[in-house]
Amino acid sequence: MTKTLVVKYVPRGERSNTKKILTEFKSKIKNSTIEEIDLAKNTPDMFLDDNLMAYIQRDYLKQNLSAEQKNLLSKMDKMTEQVKSSDIVVLAYPMFNFSMPAVVKAWFDSIMLKGHTWNAQDGKYAGLMKGKKALTIVSSGGSYSTGPMKAWEHAVSLSNSEFQFMGFSEVRGILAEGMNGAENTKSSNLAKALEEIQAIAHEWYQ
């Protein structure tokens, strides 16, 4: 049986379009255990002076850490292990200011640890998450797939890049855009996203 890790940030609750799509995807999961992280309640640590130095000492300089330093990295290590122990990672959040919310970026920073999810040798980077799949679900008020705003979309594209850098073998992204537009546009785009999510779930959980 596979393991699916669901990482979500949907602060609008039941009003969230992202949550509607995520709920549909979760309803289609078969033969897989599900672990869920709510980033609104379980916020990742951010790299600040002390924990950044502990990370560099441990994973770049290969130095032993004190008990206090190990504790500074414990939450990051736990979140990293959650990813490493999963076969599929599903990440869901709304677009904030053309990109991902800060708490989602902090989650990526927490798990993208050298020697754990990626490595570097002789000036070359190598992702260590081979064989895993990742899906990013995002909703946005505006539309970014075509037109002058296309270059401003950094919510799904950045997430895809992060997963690809870590070596995920299959990376998908769904953007339900135009949620602040006319009602017919919103309904059409949301229906399209739900169809896409159903197809991916059927493919991944046959």
- Is residue 121 predicted with pLDDT exceeding 90? no
Q: What is the DSSP string of 62-88?
A: -----HHHHHHTHHHHHHHHHHHT-SE
The pLDDT assigned to 73 comes to 99
The pLDDT assigned to 176 comes to 93
Average pLDDT over residues 71-96: 98
Domain assignments of the chain as residue spans, ordered by start: 2-204
Among 3.40.220.10, 3.30.565.10, 3.30.420.40, 3.40.50.360, what is the CATH number of 2-204? 3.40.50.360
DSSP reduced 3-state for 186: helix
Average pLDDT over the chain, rounded to an integer: 95
- Is residue 147 predicted with pLDDT exceeding 90? no
Reported in sequence order, the residue ranges of 85-205 that DSSP labels E, i.e. its strands, are: 88-94, 118-121, 124-127, 133-139, 170-176
Asked if 44 and 80 touch (Cβ cutoff 8 Å), the reply is: no
- d(CA 176, CA 95) in angstroms, rounded, equals 10
Burial of 109 (0-12, 13-18, 19+ CB in 10 A): middle
The pLDDT assigned to 13 comes to 85
